[in-house]
Chains A and B, each alone.
Chain A
């Protein structure tokens, strides 16, 4: 199972962190972020599914297989490089920014 969390949708209900605290952390105001890369091992599937189904605003989405080239070699290269470790290269993550 692979999921993503859309933080632009999250309204801070916190149900996810109650059901699957190791996958969802809350900030000081109760808003969630996903821990890890969204890959959920079989043994945690039930808890995470409960979190997904209980989210009142549907901010947790199970990722389907429809996306193109998810396994391409160049693709993984880009993915690895484009999400810098915030403690090291994070300052340059402005990629998204000044464009």
Chain B
């Protein structure tokens, strides 16, 4: 399977987009549309961010206001703070961050300079691996009038792409001159990060939402979404034999409506791979959810970065085997529990796909999916345990059939992919 090179970009019907935009946008265009608005009162903006209830879009849905406040407080004690715009999108099935950086670099930079003011940082980084994204941001920086940045130094730093390279401690380590691999915690970046200063590492989509709050306020931000998952979000939709798409959606949208919009009949859906590869598999219970953090969490999964792969023809066991093999290859190779655990779980899921796994193998997989959780310095091992655990709980009958080597699809030509459902944007001028 080769990477997809073309995808649709669309805003949910009737929604006034906050992130997506058609056509190129230069500095004057962005500024004329209300961007780079003067910030006279950082405390008032912080208050609006708090009231907006905005949650981080890197995948953890962490409240932005809490992170800002913590880094500001720690930064005051430490004599400075640093902000990092994290655009190193390691999830192969997600495209949103690269799209934003390539197409709306000024929106991201505007959010970055506002965040820097909120935590009193005088140094900021844009951390990416995508060459086109780095180029777009560098060009945008060259266009900006210096006074807008108010003394803030913004540096673009590129790294080799990797699944773990975008993890926040990997970003800090790379910016400190080390390899782009996670470190164990503590310390967390908000305590001690770039140059040992308290560091706010924030996803570029999260940052790109701050200018909206600055301009329109918390109440306008909450006009879309649910009370606990306010606002809009970017979703990368792949799978189902359809061309992939990047959508801006309101939180709380029923998944069934998204399926209609994407052109996938609900009765063909076996399930989804949720949140990138991280949040595991869901069966067709997914048809009843709404796309917000609470609803997805009720199925023991997570909205994550909203990279959602719809499974129709593909066998969930074979998909899990390919994802597990990916974790086995792409983990940082640092923590013994992770490089051993992902290899072991990968071997069992592949054996299951190939119809040669035993009941003992399956029992081991089940046990590892529980006991290995939390045993890595970063969340790669947790991602692998999520995939294993969710496969076993969401698709018990399909798993049982594989024990008897009774899956027609896998026997005929099993789904395999080095980077399942990868989406890679074609670079257009």
Contacts and interface: CB of A to CB of B under 8 A. Distances in A.
B73 A75 contact: yes
A68 B191 contact: yes
A69 B191 contact: yes
Contacts of B70: 72, 74-75, 77-78
A72 B191 CA distance: 11
Interface string A58-97: 0000010001111010110111011000100111111111
Q: Say which size band chain A's interface belongs to.
A: 35 or more
A77 B373 CA distance: 23
Interface stretch (B18-26, B179-187, B212-220): B179-187
B300 interface: yes
Contacts of A79: 188
A11 interface: yes
Contacts of A28: 340, 344, 368
Contacts, number: 194
B187 to A, nearest CB: 6
Nearest to A78: B70
B82 to A, nearest CB: 13
A56 interface: no
B421 interface: no
Contact of B304 (A6, A27, A94): A94
A49 interface: no
A7 interface: yes
A94 B278 contact: yes
A93 B62 CA distance: 9
Contacts of B300: 91
A32 to B, nearest CB: 9
A6 B336 CA distance: 11
Given A27-B375, A33-B374, A92 B297 contact: yes
A97 B375 contact: no
Contacts of A4: 184, 186
B86 interface: yes
B59 interface: yes
A7 B375 contact: yes
A95 B374 contact: no
Nearest to A10: B336
Given A4-B186, A68-B198, A99-B203, 7 more contacts: A27-B341, A30-B336, A92-B59, A94-B278, A94-B379, A96-B169, A98-B304
